[in-house]
């Protein structure tokens, strides 16, 4: 297969971790006889330095004409970097918000997976994590409270603020379909999370999700209230396969789920729309404190590249080969500094990439 990949290395550790992911994609291409064409564009601080804006129209066009985007991370030290003296619309993060909008990426997918080998980093009790857990949070990314009308005004001498939470049937249907499609590739269970005992938007959410479920008879659907879900994530994370939820609930729950895995350098993410196109990036930021030292953990980015193979290119076997290689390297005791523990072998960012390539 032949695929066009837009590469955005970004700032901080971005270039280091993306280089390792490309090494891995190259060996996958060689082994499985694919051709990947890479086009590199700038975004974030790197683009501000060269073009004066965090994302150019040319960069967007290149991304639009590719099959997927692989992103490192953007941004600098928010207290010392000159990028943060600029108007908010010209800062690095504005590039990220713009590309998500321009590419219509409405579905955010964040896996939370506990590696047996990294159990020690998990803040939960051992009896809870016994057997590990493996869930996927599917969050609606372009609607709901974060995109509704908002206003702060003075009424009778007192400040009043309001934010509007609105979802249309169509917005819910497209994300629900995405959630069920993902569940079909996994353990075939969807937990739809809402607050249907209080909110009208949640009642519509539940109605549409029930409707979409009819097209997926193999998938078990359950509904859970968001407050209960927050509790269940730390009480028994094993019960979850795909968690399907709206924008704000997903924002909060996905951070909680990633926290219970205990290792930020291991968590990948994907932003998708209703065709196969997607943007793939680690869940963490640009880690300016460790940039340029070759000590960052590249695994989150490599796992994001594996998600790209699975969800944008329909290359399940290739994605599994990457994931298996990572597990083997961890089993053999190799660790970057962020996941290092007694008795393990500490390696650099580039060495970790090499080891994963060797296993593949
Ligand atoms: P961060 O995720 O960059 O770093 C938090 C801590 O985790 C740091 O100590 C860092 O060294 C460590 N860390 C992060 N990734 C690591 C890795 N792969 N290997 C080893 N250690 C790792 O969060 P922050 O410090 O709050 O933000 C730094 C910059 O990143 C800011 O400009 C922020 O706006 C930006 N940011 C960008 C994105 C994105 O591009 N999507 C997401 C979050 C934050």
CA distance 114 to 132: 5
pLDDT in tens, 302-315: 999 999 999 999 99
pLDDT in tens, 44-72: 999 999 999 999 999 999 999 999 999 99
Active-site residues: which are they? 146, 195, 227, 251, 255
Q: Is the Cβ atom of 44 under 6 angstroms away from ligand 1? A: no
Pocket test of ligand 1: the residue of 18, 271, 284, 304 to mutate, having most ligand atoms within 8 Å of its CB, is 284
Give the residue, by CA position, lying nearest to ligand 1 atom 14. 287
pTM for this entry:
0.89
Pairing of strands 134-140, 242-245: parallel
Ligand 1 midpoint to CA 284 (Å): 5
Residue closest to 73 by CA, chosen among 240, 222, 280:
280
Tokens of 232: 């269940």
Q: Is the Cβ atom of 290 under 6 angstroms away from ligand 1? A: yes
Q: How confident is the model at residue 132 (pLDDT cuts 50, 70, 90)?
A: confident
Q: Is the Cβ atom of 278 under 6 angstroms away from ligand 1? A: no
Q: Which three-class secondary structure state does DSSP give residue 160? A: strand
Give the residue, by CA position, lying nearest to ligand 1 atom 25. 287
Do 105 and 41 touch, CB atoms closer than 8 A?
no
Q: Which residues pair with 244 in a beta bridge?
A: 138, 192
H or E segment to which residue 49 belongs? helix 45-51
Mean pLDDT, residues 287-298: 97
Q: Tell me the backbone φ, ψ of residue 301, rounded to 5 degrees.
A: -75, -40
CA distance 313 to 204: 33
């Amino acid at each position: 297969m032949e695929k066009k990949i837009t590469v955005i290395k970004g700032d901080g550790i971005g270039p280091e971790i993306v280089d390792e992911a490309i090494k891995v994609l190259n060996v996958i291409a060689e082994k499985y006889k694919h051709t990947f064409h890479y086009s590199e564009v700038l975004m974030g601080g790197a683009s501000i330095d060269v073009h004066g804006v965090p994302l150019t129209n040319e960069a967007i066009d290149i991304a639009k004409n590719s099959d997927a985007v692989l992103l490192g991370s953007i941004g600098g030290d928010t207290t010392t970097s000159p990028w943060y003296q600029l108007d908010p619309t010209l800062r690095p993060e504005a590039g990220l918000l713009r590309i998500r909008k321009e590419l219509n990426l409405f579905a955010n997918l964040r896996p939370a997976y506990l590696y047996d080998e990294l159990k020690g980093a998990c803040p939960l009790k051992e009896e809870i994590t016994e057997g590990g857990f493996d869930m996927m949070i599917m969050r609606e990314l372009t609607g709901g409270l974060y995109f509704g009308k908002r206003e702060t005004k003075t009424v009778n001498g007192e400040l009043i603020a309001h934010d509007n939470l609105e979802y249309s049937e169509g917005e819910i249907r497209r994300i629900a379909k995405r959630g069920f499609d993902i569940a079909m590739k996994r353990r075939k269970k969807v937990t739809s999370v809402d607050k249907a005992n209080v909110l009208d938007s949640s009642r519509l959410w539940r109605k549409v999700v029930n409707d979409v479920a009819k097209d997926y008879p193999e998938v078990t659907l359950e509904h859970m209230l968001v407050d209960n879900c927050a509790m269940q994530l730390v009480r028994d994370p094993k019960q979850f396969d795909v968690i399907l939820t709206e924008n704000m609930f997903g924002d909060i729950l996905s951070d909680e789920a990633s926290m219970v895995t205990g290792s930020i350098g291991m968590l990948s993410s994907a932003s998708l729309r209703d065709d196969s196109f997607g943007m793939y990036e680690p869940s963490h930021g640009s880690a300016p404190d460790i940039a340029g030292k070759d000590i960052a953990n590249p695994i989150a980015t490599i796992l994001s590249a594996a998600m790209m193979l699975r969800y944008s290119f329909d290359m399940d076997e290739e994605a599994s080969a990457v994931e298996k290689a990572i597990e083997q390297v961890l089993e053999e005791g190799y660790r970057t500094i962020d996941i290092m523990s007694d008795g393990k072998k500490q390696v650099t960012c580039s060495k970790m990439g090499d080891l994963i390539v060797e296993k593949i």
